[in-house]
Structure 1
């Protein structure tokens, strides 16, 4: 990619050209129609795209893949800080629909760079999991098979990452504060205990600033709220 188009003097024109890309990313994650004049999510995504322009270099791989990840993670952080958070859900792993025109093909070289970055994140997460007595093998064995259960646990984990006391306890004690989570989420203690390893791993990923590719791999999106 010609990095000169990301320079400050060319930035406004480049962002304007890519508003369709920014909108498509945001709409896909928020799962609703949006308005540039009324929806904060689009402003968050616009700033995230600008951040991607500032931080991108060729070691990041494909620009649009990288920008999409920065936008997605910025929206997730926005949801975490916003009291009116949406219901979250995991996307169907079998869904083949392409929702964004990346405009340029990703070369094998760029794919290799992205795979290298993902591998580095996986190694970082593996090391962090060890600090909590966890491993990927444990998580595979203790992961829920039903989509409803996975989505329920995702929202419990997401809600907990917004609570500083819970996250500080986890960082300090290296375990879940089950009583606090039960109280915060109105979930049965037995259920929290059953899925504690899976929940703990989700919280570490969602709250971690270094897991951009892993968060993207989780395919998190906003779901429909129940009235």
Structure 2
């Protein structure tokens, strides 16, 4: 079982989705083998989020492993287009939460530079209120920086925030459908590369992959492109902010 999983893992969406369903249904052998065989995927995702190499000895890897298990237990193929994309999102959320908690904990022990007028060279620990203010300022600066980069990225596709506000699907079902299409594009190297190279959606290919009309895809084209770019970015603050809307 393990060998077959390793050979086929993530090569086809149907395969990994079926394995996830079997693991969720209580097949412990499939669950254990799937967790083990997914080690490269977990390392890659954790490394992407943490922006440094992650291996099995790091706490972040354990967080990623727990997130992957959570994704298996929460996965619903009728709700999510791709298990791999779904697992990727869950792992990133858990790692981001972990990083934020660790950052807040560490900052409680940040020391100020010693006052040169004090012969003792005494250091002072920042109080909780100062820490909170500092953290909020840092996060605010990071959010602004992300928004600037995202705005610049959208401009390459002739999109603006104003246009997205007007063109975003108004009904939840339409948003869900558009987001699932975006997941498919973001999850496919071929489709995503087509988008980057041509600055437009691969409509012909998508028509054969989704159960919606070409007209529907074109109607939500701007929204889908914006979501694809966001999904395949490392804009963690923007993703966290819009999680309730599109993620």
TM-score bucket of the superposed structures, by smaller chain? 0.5 to 0.7
Q: CA deviation at 1:161?
A: 1.1
1:202 to 227, 230, 247: 227
2:242 to 209, 218, 225: 218
Please, what TM-score do these two structures have when normalized by structure 2? Answer: 0.51
1:173 to 185, 193, 198: 198
Q: CA deviation at 1:83?
A: 5.9
Structure-2 change in CA distance of 1:158 and 1:83 (3 Å): closer
The answer as to whether partners of 1:126 and 1:135 remain within 8 angstroms in 2 is yes
After superposition, give the CA deviation of every residue in 1:137-189 in whole Å (9 maximum; x if it has no partner).
00000011222221221111111111122111111111111111111223211
Question: As a proportion of its length, which structure holds more helix?
Answer: 2
| Cα distance in 1 for residues equivalent to 2:146 and 2:185 | 22
Task: For 1:76-87, list aligned pairs within 5 A.
Answer: 84-85=83-84
Greater CA radius of gyration, 1 or 2? 2
| Cα distance in 2 for residues equivalent to 1:54 and 1:171 | 25
The SS at the match of 2:169 is coil
Task: For 1:15-34, list aligned pairs within 5 A.
Answer: none
The answer as to whether partners of 2:82 and 2:184 remain within 8 angstroms in 1 is no
Task: For 1:145-184, list aligned pairs within 5 A.
Answer: 145-184=170-209
1:125 to 107, 125, 150: 150
Structure-2 change in CA distance of 1:213 and 1:40 (3 Å): farther
Flag structure 1 segments of 5+ consecutive residues without an equivalent.
1-34, 56-66, 89-98
For CA contacts below 8 A with separation 6 or more, give which structure has more relative contact order: 1
Structure-2 change in CA distance of 1:125 and 1:109 (3 Å): same
| Cα distance in 2 for residues equivalent to 1:118 and 1:40 | 34
| Cα distance in 1 for residues equivalent to 2:243 and 2:217 | 23
| Cα distance in 2 for residues equivalent to 1:54 and 1:163 | 24
Aligned residues: 161
Q: CA deviation at 1:202?
A: 0.4
Q: CA deviation at 1:85?
A: 4.5
Question: RMSD over aligned Cα, in angstroms?
Answer: 4.6
Please, what TM-score do these two structures have when normalized by structure 1? Answer: 0.55
Aligned to 1:14: none
Q: CA deviation at 1:218?
A: 2.3
| Cα distance in 2 for residues equivalent to 1:117 and 1:152 | 30
| Cα distance in 2 for residues equivalent to 1:53 and 1:85 | 20
The SS at the match of 2:139 is helix
- Runs of 4 or more, structure 1, over 4 Å off, are 41-45, 51-55, 85-88, 102-106
